[in-house]
Amino acid sequence: MVVSEQRLNEQKLHQFLDRVVGDLAAGYGGVMVSLGHKLGLYKAMSGAGPLSSTELAHRSDCVERYVREWLNSQAAGGYVIYHPTSSTYELTPEQAMVLAHEDSPVFMPPAWDVPASMWLDEEKTIQAFKTGAGVGWGEHHARMSCGTAAFYRNCYQNSLLSQWLPALTGVEARLKAGAKVADVGCGHGHSTLIMAKAYPQSRFWGFDYHAGSIQTARDRSQKEGLTDRVTFEVAPAKGYPKEGFDLICFFDCLHDLGDPVGAAKHAAQSLAADGTVMLVEPFANDRVEDNLNTVGRLYYAASTTICCAHSLSEEVGLALGAQAGEERLAQIFREAGFKTFRRATETPFNLILEARL
């Protein structure tokens, strides 16, 4: 063991060690959350009141000994309540909103698929660090795209129609009357389909370079009966048809692109007269020191292994990163020829920005 010549502060050492062990426990806890979701354990507990491990095992069709150990891990992490006098476990309504209700705006379990893919892709990331090469979106384990789509789905479901679109200048009225909308980097198509269901007079196109995601989006559109007004196509952010769109959307994807300036220029050339670009980006302040918080920690980590890695796999490879901030994004659109750029609204996880020519 190499001992530093600088005298250690034992209190600070143990405080930091406590933090690291807490993070390690949280990582283990994420595995337990994913199991609880996929095995239906949280759903079986929701609204049921106190349950024994035997009762929960019966409700979820699982083996009691595994269920008991899982419940104790959940109780230790504060994810369920343990009642010692009756040896029962309870999921509170607040916990159920986060862990059991799949349409809740704060439903979180699928988000754990993203760090799972980060671990599975670790060797690719190590090589990228050493060589400077990129790792494209499609090169990641499938859990990454599924987890990302699920993480953002409920946020879009609960905020896009009620808050984000109404915050844009005149866009909601155009959508109601009948508009042409492009969803660039649409992924699995959640955002596209949410808008299509709400505005039946409008037509929607979803574009993504990842063929697997486009196929998933097409399947969803077929299942939901929206193929009459929704089209999904494989196309890059600088290569979709210039159709004169009234609204072009970038949902949590512009910072992933190798050439975001080129993508913004293509959007400018693809807009109808008086058209609008809606840019939804991860929430970030402009200075690093103002992003040193829980949300910043989450996004900087994802940016390291996913966002910057994908950008570096494409031409230009600007690697904006998930914490680019509003001023850097405004600069991108100014370079692309947009005259107006403003923050329309925000959430703890997203900036919603409006750009107009």
92 and 180 housed in the same domain: no
- Whether 124 and 85 share a structural domain: no
pLDDT value of position 5: 58
pLDDT tens column, 92-130: 999 999 999 998 989 999 999 999 999 999 999 999 999
Same structural domain, 338 and 234: yes
d(CA 229, CA 243): 15
CA distance from start to end of the chain:
62
Quick one: 58 and 133 in the same domain?
no
Question: CA distances (Å), 321 to each of 42, 288, 301, 315, 342, in order?
Answer: 34, 12, 10, 15, 20
Q: Are 255 and 227 spatial neighbours (Cβ–Cβ below 8 Å)? A: no
Please report, for the domain that includes residue 57, its CATH number: 1.10.10.10
Indicate if 56 and 197 belong to the same structural domain.
no
Task: Give CA angle at 59 (53, 64), nearest 5°.
Answer: 35
Domain membership of residue 182 (yes or no) is: yes
Does 4 fall in a domain? no
* Residue 2: per-residue pLDDT: 53
Give me the half-sphere count of Cα atoms (radius 13 Å) on the Cβ side of residue 141. 17
Best CA proximity match to 168, nearest among 153, 184, 179: 179
Q: Which residues, listed in sequence order, are joined to residue 206 by a DSSP beta bridge?
A: 183, 232
pLDDT per residue over 21-38, tens digit each?
Answer: 999 999 999 999 999 999
- Beta pairing partners, 248: 182, 277
Task: Specify the residue for token string 């596209």.
Answer: 192
Taking CA 98 as the corner, what is the angle to CA 93 and CA 100, rounded to the nearest 5 degrees? Answer: 75
What's the rounded Cα separation, in Å, for the pair 7 and 5? 6
What is the CATH classification number for the domain harbouring 241?
3.40.50.150
Do the domain assignments include residue 55? yes
- Tokens representing residue 45 in the block: 């507990």
Task: Return the percentage of the chain with pLDDT > 70, whole number.
Answer: 99
Residues 32, 126 within the same domain: no
Residue 1 has pLDDT above 60, yes or no: no
Per the domain annotation, does 212 fall within a domain? yes
Question: Does one domain contain both 88 and 211?
Answer: no
Distance, in Å, from the CA atom of 248 to the CA atom of 226, rounded to the nearest integer, reads: 19
Co-location of 72 and 130 in the same domain: no
Number of domains in the chain: 2
Residue at which a domain ends, from 101, 121, 145: 101
Domain boundaries, position 273: 112-356
**80/16 same-domain check:** yes
Which tens digit of pLDDT belongs to each residue from 36-71? 999 999 999 999 999 999 999 999 999 999 999 999
Nearest residue to 40 (alpha-carbon basis) of 124, 115, 99: 99
